[in-house]
Structures are given as structure tokens and as C-alpha cells.
Chains A and B, each alone.
Chain A
Amino acid sequence: ASKILLRACRVTLMRRQHVLLRTPQRVMSAKGIPTDEEQAAGLERRVLQAMKKGQDPYSILKPKEYTGTRDDPHIVPSINNKRLVGCLCEEDNTAIVWFWLHEGNPQRCPSCGSHYELVHHELPH
């Protein structure tokens, strides 16, 4: 393991000599440790970039609360043109009312009548 440590140190030092100009540009935070902005990749990067813009395409945060009336329907984001909705008509209900929500006109829960509206959104990629 110490050989790996020495080799890594040597390679890094050699790199530093060759690429004196490149390093400051690559690691903008002046003292040498990259930030997520510079280095995050893949899904993590997409999540962080979306959060910076105030978006939550991967449903990480709790959904916003709506009253469910005709003027303030529950907004249901979807990547397809329909999505399954499970309505807890009242708090603590154990029987969930499931139904497909289609794009277009808002639908109402068959049990309690709350309004739901599908809103299309794209995944970042």
C-alpha cells in the first residue's frame, strides 16, 4: 500500500510540474480541492444543477401542499402523459384511493372529490 501511496504522490507531483497552467483552471477553488460544481457527475450533478435552479425533477423534496379545490388543484408532475395517484382523502386513512391521472383537464378523486392536474415535465439530461 505504501508503494501505491508513493506512486500516487510521484504521479501527482509530476503532473503538477507538467501542467502548472492547467491545474488552476481545473480546480478553480484556489487551494486545490474541487467543488461539486466543478466535479460532480452523472445523476448527482443533474440533481444539484436542478436544485440550484429551484427545480426538483427527481422528487427528492416533499411535494408542495395544495388545497385541492378547482382553483388550486394538486399539481402532479409526470414524465409520461399519465401517472398513478393515490389519494388519502382524510389524514390517517388506511384505504388509499388509487386512480390514473391523465393529461388534459383536471380530474377529481372518485372518493373525496379533490382536484388533481397532471403537469408534464422533462428529466434533465
Chain B
Amino acid sequence: MAHQAHAYHMVDPSPWPLTGAVGALLLTSGLAIWFHFHSITLMTLGLMLLFLTMYQWWRDIIREGTFQGHHTPPVQKGLRYGMILFITSEVFFFLGFFWAFYHSSLAPTPELGGCWPPTGVTTLDPFEVPLLNTAVLLASGVTVTWAHHSLMENNRKQAIQSLTLTILLGLYFTTLQATEYYEAPFTIADGVYGSTFFVATGFHGLHVIIGSSFLAICLLRQIQYHFTSEHHFGFEAAAWYWHFVDVVWLFLYVSIYWWGS
């Protein structure tokens, strides 16, 4: 039997990159069709294909790593670099929206009344639901760290409890933010204030949902004994992502909700 003499993972051929690319194509062109021709068929097809791709691709990675043992220490190191680079790219993504916000708010134009918040905009009180949201996310940062330590100390019951609590806090944030969106006295169409507010907080909310889903997958895997006390990189990646989401919120809160009010 010919074994490799190196510790890296030469991946088997896989159809998921292709299905993902096709799904992305259908999603983007479907968006354009929806905007102009009022049909959601193509977009829905693209979304379904993308979700199927993600499910099967990541399922294959779990099979390769957890069940087949391909994730040796060097391979894990590469995965860590990958996650860090991805989160860095997301940081730059949000940096753009903060740039837009500060561009418009530091030098408000005459059309806005030369002031920020613009004339006629009733901002949300930063010390009401937004402050609660801040507390919720900070608490979830604590619970996810608790989960990590429980994992490393072989404590199954506490790992499951703290991870579940983290996810519940994430869902609580999403629910609170959704009601805030519904009750807000301004909309995305209300000038540059509305645009910067809803695009920045909206993308953040999407990332909270993504992060909560990632943590939920980790919870399922933890229940099914995938993680060991030394090797649980999937969980660490989810925790890093979650902390990133928390930090973005802190910047949003201080810049848009507090200073911008």
C-alpha cells in the first residue's frame, strides 16, 4: 500500500467548487432578474444550489478531518491561517462601510442641514435596546470562551451548556435587532443617514446570523463527539468569527449609535 511520506492533505477531486460557482452565478443573475423582471425563480435556484454546496462541501471536510484523520498539525496550521485571512478580509469589508459613515457624518452637507444627525432624523436612543444588544453580545463572548475552556478540560456537559447559551444569546440579539428595525422612526431611504445605518448594521446582522449558524453546527458536532480536548479547530474558527462579530458591533455602537446620535 503506497502511503504519502508527508503530512499534508492532497484533497480528492470534488464537484462542490463547480456547483458553488454555478450557484453564485445563478444567485447574482437571479438578483438582477428579480430587480428588473419581478421573478424570483433564478435567484431561489441559485440560493438552493449554494446551500446544498455549503452543506456537502463542509460535510466532506468533516469526514476528511474528524473521521479519516487527514487534519495533521501542519494541515490544521494551514486551516488556521485560512480562517485568519478570511476574517481579515471581512474586517476590510466593514472598514468600507465605516469609511462611508464617517465620510458623510464628519462633514455633513447643506442638504442634510449641515449637521449630524441630519435635520429631521430621530435617532435611536443608544442607552436603550442598543445598549442591551451590546451587553448581550459581550455576554456571548464570555460564554463562548467558557465553552472553549470546557472543551479543553474534557467537560462535556458544560461545553454543551455554554455553547447552547452562546447561540441563544446570538438569537436574542437577532430578535432584538429585528424589532428595532421594525420600530425605527427612519428607513433606509432616509438619505445618507438611513443608507449608512441600515447597510452597516444590516451586514452586521447578517454576520451574526452566519456566526450563530456556525456555532450551531459546532454544537451538533460536539454532541456527536467530534471534538477532542486537543483538536477542535472547527470550534475555534467559530469562536474567532464570533469575537469578530462582537468587535464589529462595538465599533458600530460607538460610531453610529452613540457618537452619531
Query: Measuring CB to CB, which residues of chain A are less than 8 angstroms from any residue of chain B?
Result: 1, 4-5, 8-9, 12, 27, 29-36, 38-47, 57-60, 79, 123, 125
In the bound complex, residues from chain B placing their C-beta under 8 Å from that of A36 are 228-231
Contacts of A125 in B (CB 8 A): 1, 3
A59 with B228, Cβ < 8 A, contacts A44-B69, A47-B73 known: no
Q: Does B6 contact A (CB under 8 A)?
A: yes
**What count of chain B residues pass the 8 Å CB interface test?**
32
Nearest chain B CB to A69's CB is how many angstroms away?
A: 28
Give me the interface of B with A, judged by CB distance under 8 Å: 1, 3-7, 67-74, 151, 153-157, 159, 216, 219-220, 223-225, 227-231
CB-nearest residue of chain B relative to A26?
B225
The answer to whether B6 touches A59 (Cβ under 8 A) is yes
- Residue in chain A with minimal CB distance to B225: A34
**CB pairs A–B below 8 angstroms (10 shown):** A27-B225, A29-B154, A31-B153, A31-B157, A33-B225, A39-B228, A44-B70, A47-B7, A58-B7, A123-B5
Contacts of A79 in B (CB 8 A): 5
Does the CB pair B69–A40 fall under 8 Å?
Answer: yes
Write the chain B residue with the least CB distance to A56.
Answer: B7
Q: Which residues of A contact B69 (CB under 8 A)?
A: 40-46
For the complex of A and B, 5 pairs with smallest distance between CB atoms: A42-B69, A32-B156, A41-B69, A44-B69, A29-B154
Distance A87 CA – B132 CA, assembled complex (angstroms): 63
A60/B73 in contact, CB under 8 A: yes
Q: Are A8 and B220 in contact (CB-based, < 8 A)?
A: yes
Enumerate chain B residues within 8 angstroms of A59, measured Cβ to Cβ.
5-7
In the bound complex, CA of A57 to CA of B72 (Å): 13
